[in-house]
């Protein structure tokens, strides 16, 4: 039996997670991953990788909860296995603190992280500018390790990987039966999506081995995330800003804000500075459509626009995308040479 040729575009955390899910769950498919850039040069590589999410306004919360839960279960199993150091996945405990009590004291993911609770007054005393806080244990997934680890899982499952920039989907229509688009911000040009836009984020890596807990300001702009190789401190959220250069003003502001939360940061050595563009969209796009390409009807599954929560939601959304590919297999046998 000839296999169904599936191509996944994109080698960030969304592309590799999706490619692995398809290759492992759908043995009738031969899966090829094409991408212009690979680790360590994707947005995913520089993300702090902390499991934490905001809400997409028009996507049913139940679906978002499932994405979070599936992703958490997947990464927790890795964190508690012998693969943890190689995959760059670890448990991480700490605090999210607020200057004012938030409207929603129980985020939708609070039941999936470990030991979610309100901070005590005693715990809050070290953060004099803040009046409310949440303590919990979540997961940190460092993509500089995780992406190569996923690739090492993809290839034995029969996956093929090639470096290539794709200018339009027509280029792929003769060589593949199903296209899976995980190109993040690249979707703006690749599929002409004007709804996807960058939210610039600058972070620093610092050497501060004495820090054991994460601290995140509830406004999402200032955070300290201790990791396997140094702590990631940040940050910025600059909508519509395409600059990839490090901004010295941002560096100064990050160091000042983080030192206010954790004074010992002023003693930490700065190891590196990095800028990434979050592939943002009002609602992430996870759906399938049939596109007319070179006279053929080709199923296309989209999985992009995860904004600041891509590492968090990668596995859950990848499983969903895999289910959409499975539906394509069932519904379009004749047309797509299936």
**Residues of the shown chain interacting with ligand FAD in the complex, contacts defined by CB under 6 A:** 9-15, 34-37, 42-44, 46-50, 165-166, 182-186, 190, 201, 203, 234-235, 276, 278-279, 304, 306-312
Nearer to ligand FAD, 36 or 144 (CB): 36
Q: How far is the CB of 36 from ligand FAD (least distance, A)?
A: 4
Q: How far is the CB of 1 from ligand FAD (least distance, A)?
A: 30
Pairing state between β 269-280 and 197-207 = antiparallel
Q: How far is the CB of 82 from ligand FAD (least distance, A)?
A: 24
Nearer to ligand FAD, 52 or 332 (CB): 52
Nearer to ligand FAD, 119 or 199 (CB): 199
Nearer to ligand FAD, 317 or 329 (CB): 317
Nearer to ligand FAD, 31 or 329 (CB): 31
**Rounded to an integer, what distance in angstroms lies between the CA atom of residue 143 and that of residue 31?**
22
Burial 217-247 (b: 16+ CB within 10 A, else e): bbeeebbbbbbeebbbbbbbbbeebeeeeeb
Q: How far is the CB of 312 from ligand FAD (least distance, A)?
A: 4
Q: How far is the CB of 53 from ligand FAD (least distance, A)?
A: 7
Is 184 in contact with 244 (CB distance < 8 Å)?
no
Question: If we measure between CA atoms, which residue out of 210, 209, 217 comes closest to residue 236?
Answer: 217
Nearer to ligand FAD, 48 or 179 (CB): 48
In order of 32, 47, 189, 205, 312, the CA distances from 73 in angstroms are 26, 20, 34, 27, 11
- Unique residue bearing structure tokens 């004007």: 194
Q: How far is the CB of 147 from ligand FAD (least distance, A)?
A: 9
Nearer to ligand FAD, 190 or 208 (CB): 190
**Rounded to an integer, what distance in angstroms lies between the CA atom of residue 248 and that of residue 275?**
12
- Unique residue bearing structure tokens 């960030």: 12
**Rounded to an integer, what distance in angstroms lies between the CA atom of residue 102 and that of residue 98?**
7
Q: How far is the CB of 75 from ligand FAD (least distance, A)?
A: 11
In order of 35, 238, 267, the CA distances from 247 in angstroms are 28, 12, 21
């Amino acid at each position: 039996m000839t296999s169904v040729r599936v191509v996944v575009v994109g080698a960030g955390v969304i592309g590799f997670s999706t490619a692995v899910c398809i290759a492992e769950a759908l043995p009738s498919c031969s899966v090829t991953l094409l991408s212009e850039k690979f680790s360590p040069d994707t947005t995913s590589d520089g993300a702090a990788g902390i499991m934490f999410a905001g809400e997409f306004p028009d996507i049913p919360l139940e679906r978002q909860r499932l994405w979070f839960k599936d992703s958490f279960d997947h990464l927790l199993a890795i964190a508690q296995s012998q693969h943890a150091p190689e995959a760059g996945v670890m448990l991480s405990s700490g605090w999210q603190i607020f200057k004012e009590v938030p409207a929603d004291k129980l985020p939708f993911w609070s039941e999936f992280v470990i030991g979610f609770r309100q901070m005590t007054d005693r715990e809050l005393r070290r953060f004099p500018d803040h009046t409310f806080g949440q303590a919990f244990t979540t997961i940190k997934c460092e993509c500089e390790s995780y992406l190569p680890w996923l690739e090492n899982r993809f290839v034995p499952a029969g996956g093929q990987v090639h470096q290539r920039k794709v200018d339009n989907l027509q280029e792929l229509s003769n060589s593949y039966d199903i296209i899976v688009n995980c190109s993040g911000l690249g979707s703006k040009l690749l599929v002409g999506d004007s709804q996807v836009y960058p939210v610039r984020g600058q972070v620093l890596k610092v050497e501060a081995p004495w820090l054991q807990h994460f601290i995140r300001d509830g406004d999402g702009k200032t955070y300290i995330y201790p990791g396997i190789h140094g702590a990631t401190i940040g940050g910025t959220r600059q909508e519509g800003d395409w600059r990839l250069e490090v901004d010295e003003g941002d560096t100064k502001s990050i160091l000042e804000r983080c030192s206010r939360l954790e004074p010992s940061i002023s003693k930490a050595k700065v190891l590196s500075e990095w800028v990434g563009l979050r592939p943002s969209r009002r609602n992430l796009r996870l759906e399938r459509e049939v596109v007319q390409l070179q006279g053929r009807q080709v199923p296309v599954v989209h999985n992009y626009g995860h904004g600041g929560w891509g590492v968090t939601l990668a596995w859950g959304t990848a499983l969903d995308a895999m289910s959409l590919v499975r539906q394509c297999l069932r519904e379009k046998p004749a047309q797509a040479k299936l």
